[in-house]
């Protein structure tokens, strides 16, 4: 241990800034722009309390997911689930990557950039065809760049992403000095009518960012970067992760706060939009006209393309690692093609179908993050993991069923499961898994410490 301490070097402010920037780039994508804006419109005058709930799942939880990777010395999301066996670990890994990848996350990069940047220039009658052409070009480019050399796009991203953020902060500045309306005067939808419901629904809305899942999937990249800077001990890596995370995720929280605020203020000028992409486009056009919209379209396309390249490549790498029958490039083809097909169902449909999966995966991810952080105490005890996850997975599955779109809910089996789910405590606010998870954790800890005592 003393030898390790000798070779560890003290990180400079520049080192911390580099890691913080990496964390910011990892977590801030297309969805992080539109969901808080829409949340502000839904919450109306209860925007602040909704913000607090949103920041827990949108900022705190992703940071904890990175810490979980650091504390367990995990090589990825597979290792987070490994205490429950390889079958569970590979299933959990596949679900995480499919959700943030070709099922929902990757298609969303095309639909968000199209909705925010391109759709305002296309007549409504031709938007479906325009989306088809746009998404084909978009994912064709994403695959080609992933297949060949993505450094060119990454270098462009390092230039264009800061420009995009500067323009975003310019929108914040203009919106503050020339507000669309009073945030505290906006009408709150029924789900956000009371402070308690506003907080809980803000908490659930944070699921849509998918950042806790992304943290589990890509956190190893951040941890590896910290170790390459000279930090060797697990404790040192965790401390650096926490300090850098406070800065990087603090920047994300700052952007979320103003996006939600502007969303609430926009009700003074516009009615609530179908999604945050439309709302953002309306706000930009109000302040900067079609010239601003054209600039936004270009930057959004490149920013989202950079994200899509990373997601397509990451999916190919991890699926080839655990399912080597297909090559890395075959998995990339499947990811890009599936993303293209799903993108063409439209942004609202993608959000509607992603919600059930997030209602299922987020509770599992949260308890696995907590258990991973408890590693110094429970030593990855299988019994603690087993009782906690079993008590979580059943109500989480029932929440999954309850969140299915109407077209999938109208069967006797689904309705029966929803009836059972509605009998659980806190089911009315979407967290029916919480009390069972706590009971499972306590039960597992009692069994674990009783065995240790013997």
| CATH number of 208's domain | 1.20.1740.10
| Coil, strand or helix at 21 | helix
Pairwise pLDDT comparison (112 vs 156), residue with the higher score: 112
- Contacts of residue 60, Cβ cutoff 8 Å, sequence gap at least 6: 249
Same-domain check for residues 220 and 306: yes
CA distance 452 to 454: 5
**In this structure, what DSSP letter does residue 432 have?**
T
pLDDT (average), residues 215-220: 80
Of 294-303, 320-329, 445-454, minimum mean pLDDT range: 294-303
**In this structure, what DSSP letter does residue 345 have?**
T
| Coil, strand or helix at 73 | coil
Helix, strand counts (H, E) of the chain: 21, 0
Same-domain check for residues 398 and 335: no
CA distance 111 to 106: 9
Same-domain check for residues 115 and 230: yes
CA distance 416 to 422: 10
* Domain count of the fold of the chain: 2
Same-domain check for residues 60 and 160: yes
Same-domain check for residues 175 and 51: yes
Same-domain check for residues 126 and 184: yes
**In this structure, what DSSP letter does residue 361 have?**
H
Q: How far apart are the first and last CA of the chain?
A: 31
- Say if residues 31 and 115 touch (Cβ distance below 8 Å): no
Write the pLDDT tens digit of every residue in 68-116.
887 887 777 888 999 999 999 999 999 999 999 999 999 999 998 898 8
- Say if residues 161 and 346 touch (Cβ distance below 8 Å): no
Same-domain check for residues 281 and 170: yes
**Cα–Cα distances in Å, from 402 out to 244, 349, 355, 429?**
38, 17, 10, 12
Flag whether 8 is in a domain.
no
Same-domain check for residues 339 and 439: no
Same-domain check for residues 334 and 365: no
Please give the residue range of the domain that contains residue 371.
349-453
Same-domain check for residues 120 and 253: yes
Question: Phi and psi dihedrals of 326, rounded to 5?
Answer: -105, 145
* Domain end residue (candidates: 288, 319, 344): 344
Write the pLDDT tens digit of every residue in 366-423.
999 999 989 888 888 999 999 999 999 999 999 999 999 888 888 888 999 999 999 9
Pairwise pLDDT comparison (53 vs 246), residue with the higher score: 53
């Amino acid at each position: 241990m003393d030898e390790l301490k000798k070779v560890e070097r003290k990180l400079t402010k520049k080192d911390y800034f580099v890691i913080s920037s990496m964390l910011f780039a990892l977590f801030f994508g297309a969805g992080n722009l539109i969901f808080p804006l829409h949340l502000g419109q839904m919450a109306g005058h209860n925007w602040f309390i909704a913000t607090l709930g949103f920041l827990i799942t949108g900022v705190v939880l992703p940071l904890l997911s990175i810490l979980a990777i650091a504390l367990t010395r995990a090589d990825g999301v597979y290792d987070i689930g490994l205490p429950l066996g390889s079958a569970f670990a590979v299933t959990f890994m596949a679900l995480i990557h499919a959700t943030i990848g070709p099922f929902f996350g990757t298609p969303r990069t095309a639909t968000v950039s199209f909705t925010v940047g391109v759709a305002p220039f296309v007549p409504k009658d031709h938007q479906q065809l325009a989306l088809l052409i746009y998404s084909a070009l978009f994912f064709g480019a994403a695959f080609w760049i992933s297949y060949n050399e993505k450094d060119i796009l990454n270098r462009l991203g390092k230039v264009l992403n800061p420009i995009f953020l500067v323009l975003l902060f310019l929108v914040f500045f203009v919106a503050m000095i020339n507000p669309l309306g009073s945030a505290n005067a906006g009408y709150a939808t029924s789900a956000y009518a009371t402070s308690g419901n506003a907080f809980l629904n803000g908490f659930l809305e944070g699921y849509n960012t998918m950042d806790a899942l992304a943290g589990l999937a890509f956190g190893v990249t951040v941890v590896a970067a910290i170790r390459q800077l000279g930090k060797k001990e697990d404790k040192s890596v965790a401390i650096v992760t926490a300090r850098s995370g406070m800065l990087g995720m603090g920047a994300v929280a700052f952007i979320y706060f103003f996006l939600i605020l502007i969303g609430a203020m926009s009700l003074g000028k516009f009615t609530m939009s179908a999604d945050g992409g439309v709302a953002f486009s309306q706000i930009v056009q109000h302040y900067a006209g079609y010239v601003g919209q054209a600039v936004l379209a270009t930057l959004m396309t490149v920013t989202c393309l950079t994200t899509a390249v990373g997601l397509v490549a990451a999916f190919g790498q991890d699926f080839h690692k655990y399912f080597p029958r297909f090559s890395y490039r075959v998995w990339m083809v499947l990811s890009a093609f599936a993303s293209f097909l799903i993108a063409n169902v439209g942004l609202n449909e993608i959000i509607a179908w992603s919600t059930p999966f997030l209602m299922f995966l987020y509770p599992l991810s949260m308890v696995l993050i907590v258990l991973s952080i408890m590693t110094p105490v429970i030593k990855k005890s299988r019994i603690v993991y087993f009782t906690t996850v079993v008590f979580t997975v059943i109500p989480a599955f029932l929440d999954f069923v309850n969140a299915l779109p109407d077209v999938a809910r109208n069967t006797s089996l689904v309705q029966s499961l929803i009836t059972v789910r509605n009998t659980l405590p806190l089911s009315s606010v979407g967290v029916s898994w919480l009390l069972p998870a706590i009971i499972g954790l306590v039960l597992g800890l009692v069994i674990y410490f009783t065995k240790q005592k013997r």
